[in-house]
Amino acid sequence: MTSQPTLELRGVDKSFGPVHVLSSVNFTANAGEVTALVGDNGAGKSTLVKCIGGIHRVDAGEMIFDGTPQVVHDPREAAVLGVEIVYQDLALADNLDIVENMFLGREKVTRLRTLNENQMEKMARQALDSLSVRTVRSVRQLAASLSGGQRQTVAIAKSVLWQSKIVILDEPTAALGVAQTEQVLDLVRRLAEQGVAVILVSHNMNDVMKVADSIGVLFLGRMAAQVQRKDVTQTQVVELITAGRSGDLGLSPAESSGAAV
């Protein structure tokens, strides 16, 4: 991945009134890689994600998509740029089946403006197959009948369907058991192998160390460090999360002592 990153943030600032939530954050996500975004509660992970997704506008700094600086005003513009956010609560309608959920709001219609169920069902099946998903028996079962892992699978497969370039997963394994966590992490890897820039927001160090290529650590609204997975140990990452620095990695002692607040 020597070419330009799919997403690059430079010096992003965001405050809500007097509260500086993000200050000069730099962050990159490359196609084909899983980039983890970690940090303690209140470090600014959600805000950063919402800025990328167009829900918040940044106060200063640049967001560069595929080498082109862009201003994202609302979620629809973010979707046009290929950003898909898979939220923690997944946003599936329980009374609709998998196909209906995956195409919600973007249904395919025939020439007569009726729903093109066959095309949607085929495309949904293909999207799931491309991720080697075999845990979903029928794409016509209701979302209500799916397990947590299956729901997560459907939500992730949706981003394949829409050929998103950047997929942001918000705590995808938080509510899952061991086996299902494994399945979802496999899915995350396969998604990246398809050339998608995956951003994984997680609290779970095991997941992050297992699946990420690169790790960005937020500490009190600052990017303490973005490091390659292979260069660090779990202990170092935990130190970065809790103290903002670890050895010669991370913020300077002055910065890490709560200067951002």
Partner 1 sequence: MSARTHDMVEQKPEVPTEGLSALGSYTKDYLSRVRGGQLGSIPALAGLIVITAVFAVVHQGFLSAYNIEALVIQAAPIIVMAMGLIFVLLLGEIDLSAGTTGGLCSAIMGVLLVRNGLSWWLALIIGLLAGLVIGLGMGWLRARVGIPSFVITLATFLAFQGVTLILVGGQGSLIIPDTSPLIKLENSFVPLWLGWVLLAVFVLGYAAIKVNDALGRRRDGLSHAPFTVIAAKVVVLAALGAIFTYEMGVNRNLSTNAFFSNKAQGMPWVVVLLVLLFAVWHFVLSRTRYGRHLYAVGGNEEASRRAGIVVNRIRISVFVICSGMAAVSGMVAASLLQSVQSNAGAGNTLLLAVGAAVIGGTSLFGGHGRMIDAVLGGLVVAVITNGMSDLIQGANSAGYEWVVTGLVLLIAAGFDAVVRRGRAS
| Binding site residues, partner 1, CB under 8 A | 75-76, 87, 89, 91-96, 100-101, 104-107, 109, 113-115, 118-119, 121-122, 132, 134-135, 137-138, 142, 144-145, 179, 182-183, 186, 189
Q: By C-beta, is 111 or 137 nearer to partner 1? A: 137
d(CA 215, CA 257): 22
* Helical spans, DSSP H, in 53-147: 75-80, 98-102, 117-130
Shortest CB 145 distance to partner 1, Å: 6
Q: By C-beta, is 10 or 108 nearer to partner 1? A: 108
Q: By C-beta, is 117 or 255 nearer to partner 1? A: 117
Q: By C-beta, is 89 or 231 nearer to partner 1? A: 89
Shortest CB 117 distance to partner 1, Å: 8
Shortest CB 114 distance to partner 1, Å: 4
d(CA 77, CA 109): 23
Shortest CB 90 distance to partner 1, Å: 8
Q: Who contacts 51 (Cβ-Cβ below 8 Å, separation ≥6)?
A: 12, 14, 22, 57, 58, 63, 72
Write the DSSP string, 206-242. Answer: HHHHHH-SEEEEEETTEEEEEEEGGG--HHHHHHHHH
Q: By C-beta, is 183 or 236 nearer to partner 1? A: 183
d(CA 6, CA 18): 32
CB 146 within 8 A of CB 154: yes
Q: By C-beta, is 118 or 235 nearer to partner 1? A: 118
Q: Strand runs (DSSP E) across the chain, as ranges? A: 7-16, 19-29, 34-39, 60-65, 68-70, 83-86, 166-170, 197-201, 214-219, 222-228, 245-246, 249-250
Shortest CB 118 distance to partner 1, Å: 4
